[in-house]
Structures are given as structure tokens and as C-alpha cells.
A and B are shown apart, each in its own frame.
Chain A
Amino acid sequence: MGHLLFTGWNCRECQTFVEKFEGALGKGKGRKLYAYKVMMAKKMIKFNRDFENFKTACIPWERKIKEVESHFGSSVASYFLFLRWMFGLNMVLFGFMFGLVVLPEVLMGLPYGSIPRKVVPRAEQANAMDYSVLLDFGGYCQYSILFYGYYNDARTIGVFKFRLPLSYLLVGVGIFGYSLMVVIRMMARNSNEGGDGGDEGQFTFSFKMFTSWDYLIGNPETADNKFASVTTSFKESIVDEQENQKDENIHLRRFLRVLANFLILCCLGGSGFLIYYVVKQSQDNAKKDQDELTWFQKNEVDVVMSLLGLVCPPLFETIAELEEYHPRVALKWQLGRIFALFLGNLYTFLFALFDEVNEKLEEEKSIKNATMWSLKEYYANYSSYHNTTDVPPLDIAPADVVRGPCWETTVGVEFMKLTVNDIEVTYITILIGDFLRAVIVRFLNYCWCWDLEAGFPSYGEFDISGNVLGLIFNQGMIWMGAFFSPGLVGLNILRLISSMYFQCWAVMATNVPHERVFKASKSNNFYMGLLLLVLFLSLLPVIYIIMTMPPSFDCGPFSGREKMYDVILETLEELPTFIGNIVGYATNPGLILSAVLLMVLAIYYLNVTSKNYENANLELRKKMQMARDEEKNRRNNKETTNQAMQYLEDLLPNRSLIPPPVITEESALSKSSKVAKHPGAAANGKGVNLQKDVSLASPNPRAAVTRPPGPRGPPGHARGPPPGPGRGRGRGAPPPRR
């Protein structure tokens, strides 16, 4: 109203204004409606806020992960975040598989026992319920919805005319499509967030000092976590600082790095050759009489694989110490190398699997011929006996029908066994390698000659690389096996949930934080990159099988067809003809080639544009940095405050960290442009007087908290024992096939 009085409207305008805002003014007709609207708006805001709170509370395991993060740093927590993300992905895959394949078959398909493929054969029925057989996924397990062989090949089932074979094929391929989409979307999102590092470099420690406490914490446990997290974050910054301040003898470092890589390549080559040799041996052994072979000869491949998986990762880590990378970078190298090692493992597994499949195909041919022959015989006999051509169908109990070997189910069973094996190995390794070790170190310490806690073997550190690779390879196995065993995804869900709880407990109870706690890179793109690679590797065999191998003739949803993708062709035939025509044109090689060419050009164009944007970004950042440095230099004293340092620097030319007095703009510009390449704190330090004697380089003494064993003298070494059995168990290896 005050505003109104001063604007000088005439009477008519005032009137219309008052009428419009009657409600708000609390007078007149619109009052109730307006008040109601305001109330609804407030309720809406409150509802939105509550819903946001609810959504945040629904994120599973958030508190657990935060607890681990506070005590162990963001690098260890990144593994658990990755695990949680995998769980989300697998839930969606499980939803697809379960809802579109398993459920329709269970609800609308034929029940157990009605047709041959759904029944345990008569020969095996005696011990179909035995525990050992079930553990091996034989018996009733094998002839259940868990595996490919159970599904019927009727084109449509049930009241809704659900096309199960088509759905099976589409879900099998759709799993890969969805995973691909999600992984790439995550990578894209992560690369976005890696944007603004420029500002943070300026006041890292001041920020941490003044703003790290969360004043809303009221719970003592949360406060403990916050303390731990503040400590950890300081330690991370110290590590980063150390890296920036390191003395550079470039030539020595380069030589050492080349040497280390050479050694590791030798190791990898050696292990590759060993694997090849052992596989060849086992192939030869398979042809010999089984009784003549020793246990070792029978399980050569498994033993060699396990040994390699146990020995090589710590070896790589030891060699990697020559390289002196930042721990984050060292982790990436380690991951890459162990990945290369485990590819060999994968190769043997697939090799052996293909051998088995080919064998089964041969067997199937012979059984198929036999079945055909016996059927012909039956018809011939019947018609000749009863002298009629109208022959009733063969009436045998489903359990007695002669059955083919169903190689797809075999493949599914292999993957299941592999996954279960992997779970067992992981959990046992944690129990023995971490828990038992912690208990022994803790309680034997009272009566042992040297200090077990500070020296060898001390407590284990959480093996990030082994666990991440284990997770990635496990997921690769799931992707490969999901087509042959719909139950596999469900098993994986159980595995991920139990893994989360078990590993969180194990980490908090039996591990100690790394000596050099480092901040995980802002994006998880490295893990995602490996995951993408594994996704492609697991996509290839499945697509190959779908496209080229003939399905079993009597089991699974594609039985009787020439190739598995024939289902799609059959479906297309049922649709109206013009769709068939369109699809026919669309699959013309010419069209596909042009589309591929177009996509390649688009990729190239987008790549170039994004590089240009990146360059522009960098330029802008440099300019901002220069402006800041200039301002700082203007306010600073031009000389260093440390006279002794100045004297020393004068004696040693060309190694000065203290910039010469900046007077002209050009020198400031050139210095800043050189310095801008290192956006870390050291760069800013170079503009401000970086005093090298601020040593953040002295590492933490490993001081155990438990005092009772009595005075043992100060734990002298700063870095602890060399990383012998302390690290790297190579748990991530997919255990060899039995």
C-alpha cells in the first residue's frame, strides 16, 4: 500500500489493483481463496522437503559407508560406493530377468514334471536330492527355473499369449544394452564433475581448519566419525602436498620407471606362457586314462591359477615402489597390471568351456540321431503291427525319455559354480587373511619376542585394487552367465548384499587405515573404464553363441530351431508384411555401412568440439590464476621472509623455489603461465613465499594405542615393514574352473 501511495496512479488504476490483490490484502471476496492457496503452497513446500528427506534416508547403507569413509579415507570408501552402485545395477537386471522371463514361465508355463525337459531323468532320480549333488547344482537344481534348460519353447504361453522365447532372447541381449547405457552414462556424468579444481587450490588448509566441523552433529558416535574424517582429510592433504614438493631427479626416476615396467612385463609374459603351457598339458592329460594321473596333474590349471593370483599382485606392488608415483596413480597402475594378469585367467576358463561345449555338441548329434532312429522304428513297428497309418504319439513317462546333453545348462551350471566358488574364496580369505591375523597379532603380542603390531605382520590394510578387480570380474562372469542361467543374477544380488555387510564389518574391525591416506580421484571413471572393458569382453562370447551356435534340440526356449535368433525372424513373420519389408530394407548392408560411417564422422566432430571447449576452459582458468597471482604479488613483500633460505638459494643457482622479485607484468605473466600447469597448491605456493622447511614430509609414526603389553620402546621405523604379506592377496582372481 505504501508503494501504491507513491506511484501516482489515478483512481481507476488503484481500484483495479486493489481488486486484483483483494485476497492478499485480507479483505473482500478473494480472501478465503487466497488464504487457501497460500496454505496449499506451504504444504507443498513442506511435502517436497519431507519427500527429499525420505529419499535421502532411503539410500541404503549410507551411514555405514560414511563411517568407513571417516575412518579410512575416501579411497577405501570409493570401493564401497562402487559396490553399492553395482548392487543397484544388478537389482535392475534382476528385475528384468525375474519379471520378464522367470515369472511368466513359473506362472503361465507348464509345471514341473509335465514334459521331459522339466523332469529329472530316471537315471539320476535316485540321488537327485542328495546334498552333494545339489551343491554341485545337479539333481533338482539343474532341472529348475535356475537354468536355461527348464524353459519351454512354445511360441506363446498362457492367457496373455506371452511370447517367452522372444522375451528370453530380448532380455538376454537387453541386459547388455542396459548395462552399457548405464556405465556410459555414469562415465559421462563423472567426467562432468571433474571440472572445477581451480578454486580449491588456494586455501586448502585454511578451509579445512575453519570450516570442517559440522555443527549440527549431536550424536557422540557421529562426532567420533567426524573427528576421524577431519583427521583423515588433513592427512590426505598432507600426502598431496608431499607429492607436490618432491625433489625431482627426472632422469633417475624415468630410468627406474622404465625398469619397473620392464620387470613387470617380464612377469606378465612369464605367467602368460605358464598358463598356456599348463592348459596344453591339461588338454593332453584329458586324453589319457584318468586313473594314471596324480591329483596335481588333474588340477594343474587350478593350482597354477591360484598361485599366480596369490603371488603376482604383491610382487607387482613391490616392484611398483621403484616408480614412486602418487598413491592414487600407483593404484591405477596396480589395477591395470592385475587386470592384465587376470585376463589370462579368463582365457583359460573360456577355453576350457568351449572345449566342453563342443564335446556336448558332438554328443548331442549322436543322441539326436539315435532318438530319430528309435522314433522311426516305433512308427514302422506300430503301423506294420496294427496295419494303420494313424499312429498315436509315443506314450512314455517324461522321466524316461532319452535326452540330449543340453550344453547350455552345462554352461550355466559352470558359471554358477564359479560364482559360488568365488564367494567362498573371498569370504574365507577375509576371515583368515584379515580376521585371524588381527586376532593372532593382538593376542600373541603379549608373549612374542618382537612387537607384532608395529613390525611384521601387523594388521592388514584394506586391499582396494584386489577387491575392485574382484568385483569387476565377478560382474563380468554374471553378464556372461546370465543368458544361460536366469538364477545367476539373483545369486549375485544375495552375494552383493552379504558382501556389503561382511566387508564393512571386516574393514572396521580388522583393518587399519593406509599409511598414506589418499583422496580418491573425484570421478570413479577408472573403475568404470575397466568395467566397460569387461562388459565388452563378456558381450562377445554371448553374441557369438547367439549368432552361430545351434541351440540344443530338446531343451531351452529355442529348442528345435536352427539358430537362436530365429525366434525374432518368426515373430517378424507374424507381424504385418510392411513391417517385415521395412526391417528387410533396414538391414540392407549398404544402409548399415552408411549409418556406421555417419556415426564415425559424428564422433570425430564431437571429439574435436570437446577438445576446443577444454582448451578454452584452460585458457580462462589461466587468466583467472594470473589475475589472482598478480593481486597477491601486489600485496606481498617482494623478498622472502626467511633470510637463511635466501642465503642458501643464492649459493645454489637454478634450484631456486623463491621467485625473483616481481616488478614487471611480463615476468609475472610468464611465471604464472608456467605455473598454471600445476594447479595444485604448490603453484600458489610459488607465488607466495613457499618455505621448503615447512616439512609435511615426516610420516606418521605407527603408534599402537593398546598399551598393556608393556613398554616395548618406541616403534622406530616410520614406514613400517616392506609390504610383504601385508597387501595384495589377489583375491580378485576368478577362481579356476573345477
Chain B
Amino acid sequence: MGSRASTLLREEEIEEIKKETGFSHSQITRLYSRFTSLDKGENGTLSREDFQRIPELAINPLGDRIINAFFPEGEDQVNFRGFMRTLAHFRPIEDNEKNKDPTASEPLNSRTNKLLFAFRLYDLDRDDKISRDELLQVLRMMVGLNMFVSQVLRMMVGLNMFVSQVLRMMVGVNISDEQLGSIADRTIQEADQNGDNSISFNEFIKVLEKVDVEQKMSIRFLH
């Protein structure tokens, strides 16, 4: 795999990616081999179906949105450069970077840019605000309809598991839509500071200021 990867990726490309994203040589080659293993069609680009084959993304309630984040506006294929550009957000922050050139533009993996990536997952219409409707959509995805579907499927398939599965009741498991609306309102109340009934990027940053984003939104195995 290794030799194949390096023949398809030219040195100049690696240099450019290095400059743009900050990954090291070995990291780029490793990510390239991952890229090619995902690329079942072997045409040098990834489609949405290729991403959905990843199990962690398939069962993630925000999986579709994460996949969307890889694809630039309106396109259906992403090449290696685009792939790396998105992954650059998840590069671990190194200490010595903080002392480097202060005049250069903020690197893609800074805390603010990581949070911006997360923010864009919720802000679908890209108006730099998370409105109540967008929150409601996220809530609906997170709490329970998928679970219901998978439970029903399992019940139908697993008749031999009568005792443990068929009797498993789901009374009261889901939350009513009205309560979801209240939760969305409450969330906005907590986070909103300028009273426009939506969460702006700055308010988002304030909510998550105690979360160790640098560590949580970093690909650790690259160390």
C-alpha cells in the first residue's frame, strides 16, 4: 500500500498540502493511504456513499452534516486536497506553533476554526446564526426516532430472542415535540446574550469555553 500511495502523490503536492494545512510528511502519506482505502471507485475522489460506509458516521445523528462539510458548495465529489483541507481542522495543536509568525492568517486547526467547523454543522443556511428551527432539527435527530426504527427492526428479526427483545418496552422513551420545542427555547435562553433569539458564533464560543476543544477535536493517532 505504501509504495502505491507515494507513486500517486507527487512531492510538490505534498509540499503544497503541508504549507496549507500544516500536516507533516508522514501524516500526509498516512492520510493518503486512508483516502485511497475509502475510495472504492478508485477515481481519486470520494463521494457521499464512500463516507457513509464508515460505521461511526452511519450511526451518528449528525453524520450527514459531517459528510456535507467535506464537500464544497454544490459538488458531489471531493478530491484529496479538499479532504485534507477539512481534516486540517482536526490536527492537534502543537505548543510551538503559538509562537510562530503572528502576522500570518490563523491556521486551520486553531481553536476558533475548530469551533467554527462545529458551528457550521448546526448552522445549515450559513447565516452565521443558529436559529430555533435549526436547533429543533438537531434535537429531532438526536432524541430517539432512529432508535425506534432500529428497535422495531430488531424485534422483527430476532424472534428467537423472544424473552429479552420482544418484551422490551419503549413506553415513555421518546420526548414529545412540544417538549423538544421547550428544550430548544431553553437552550437559546441560556446561550443568547444579545437577545436576537438565535445563537451567534460568539455566543457559541462562550458556551463551549470550558470544553477542552483543542484536545477533543483532534486526531490523536497522528501523534
Q: Are B207 and A703 in contact (CB under 8 A)?
A: no
Q: Are A700 and B186 in contact (CB under 8 A)?
A: no
Given contacts A513-B172, A637-B195, contact A688 B189 (CB under 8 A): yes
B143 close to A (CB within 8 Å):
yes
The 8 A CB mask of B158-188 against A (1 = contact, 0 = none) is: 0000011001111111111011001101110
Distance, CA A218 to CA B170, complexed state (A):
23
Q: Are B190 and A636 in contact (CB under 8 A)?
A: no
A446 close to B (CB within 8 Å):
no
Distance to closest chain B CB from A61 (angstroms): 16
Distance to closest chain B CB from A210 (angstroms): 7
Distance, CA A672 to CA B146, complexed state (A):
43
Which residues on the A side are within 8 Å of B189 (C-beta)?
A: 685, 688-691, 694
Interface of B, helix, strand, loop or mixed by DSSP: helix
A209 close to B (CB within 8 Å):
yes
Q: Are B171 and A512 in contact (CB under 8 A)?
A: yes
Which residues on the B side are within 8 Å of A512 (C-beta)?
A: 169, 171-172
Given contacts A209-B139, A213-B61, contact A702 B178 (CB under 8 A): no
Distance to closest chain A CB from B134 (angstroms): 11
The 8 A CB mask of B50-83 against A (1 = contact, 0 = none) is: 0000011001111000000000000000000000
Given contacts A199-B210, A508-B168, contact A231 B60 (CB under 8 A): no
Q: Are B179 and A238 in contact (CB under 8 A)?
A: yes
Which residues on the B side are within 8 Å of A202 (C-beta)?
A: 190
Given contacts A231-B143, A509-B163, contact A694 B182 (CB under 8 A): yes
Q: Are A231 and B144 in contact (CB under 8 A)?
A: yes
Which residues on the B side are within 8 Å of A700 (C-beta)?
A: 172, 174-176, 179
Given contacts A206-B207, A694-B185, contact A705 B55 (CB under 8 A): no
Residue of A nearest to B163 (CB): A509
Q: Are A694 and B186 in contact (CB under 8 A)?
A: yes
Q: Are A213 and B171 in contact (CB under 8 A)?
A: no
Q: Are A231 and B190 in contact (CB under 8 A)?
A: no
Interface positions, chain A 487-535, Cβ under 8 Å from B, are 505, 508-513, 515
A354 close to B (CB within 8 Å):
no
Distance, CA A694 to CA B182, complexed state (A):
6
B9 close to A (CB within 8 Å):
no
Which residues on the B side are within 8 Å of A210 (C-beta)?
A: 118, 122, 207-208
Distance, CA A458 to CA B178, complexed state (A):
25
Distance, CA A216 to CA B217, complexed state (A):
12
Distance, CA A703 to CA B171, complexed state (A):
6
Given contacts A211-B211, A231-B175, A459-B169, contact A696 B148 (CB under 8 A): no
Which residues on the B side are within 8 Å of A636 (C-beta)?
A: 193, 195
Say which size band chain A's interface belongs to: 35 or more
Distance, CA A684 to CA B152, complexed state (A):
41
Q: Are B142 and A213 in contact (CB under 8 A)?
A: yes
Q: Are B62 and A702 in contact (CB under 8 A)?
A: no
Q: Are B143 and A234 in contact (CB under 8 A)?
A: yes
B7 close to A (CB within 8 Å):
no
Q: Are A234 and B190 in contact (CB under 8 A)?
A: no
Which residues on the A side are within 8 Å of B211 (C-beta)?
A: 211
The 8 A CB mask of B15-26 against A (1 = contact, 0 = none) is: 000000000000
Distance, CA A512 to CA B182, complexed state (A):
24
Which residues on the B side are within 8 Å of A509 (C-beta)?
A: 163-164, 167-168
Report which of A205, A230, A637, A698 forms a contact with B190, defined as CB distance below 8 A.
A205
Q: Which of A220-228, A286-294, A416-424 contacts B (4 or more CB under 8 A)?
A: A220-228
> Would you give 5 A-B contacts (Cβ < 8 Å), ordered by A?
A209-B138, A213-B62, A215-B56, A235-B175, A509-B168
Task: Please give me the 4 A-B residue pairs with the lowest Cβ-Cβ distance, nearest first.
Answer: A223-B59, A227-B147, A205-B187, A218-B56
**13 other contacts beyond A227-B147, A228-B144, A703-B174, with CB at 8 A cut-off?**
A206-B191, A216-B56, A220-B150, A223-B60, A231-B147, A231-B173, A235-B175, A438-B167, A508-B168, A511-B169, A632-B193, A685-B189, A705-B152
Which B residues have a C-beta under 8 Å from some C-beta of A?
55-56, 59-62, 118, 122, 135, 138-139, 142-144, 146-148, 150-152, 163-164, 167-176, 178-179, 182-183, 185-187, 189-191, 193-195, 197, 207-208, 210-211
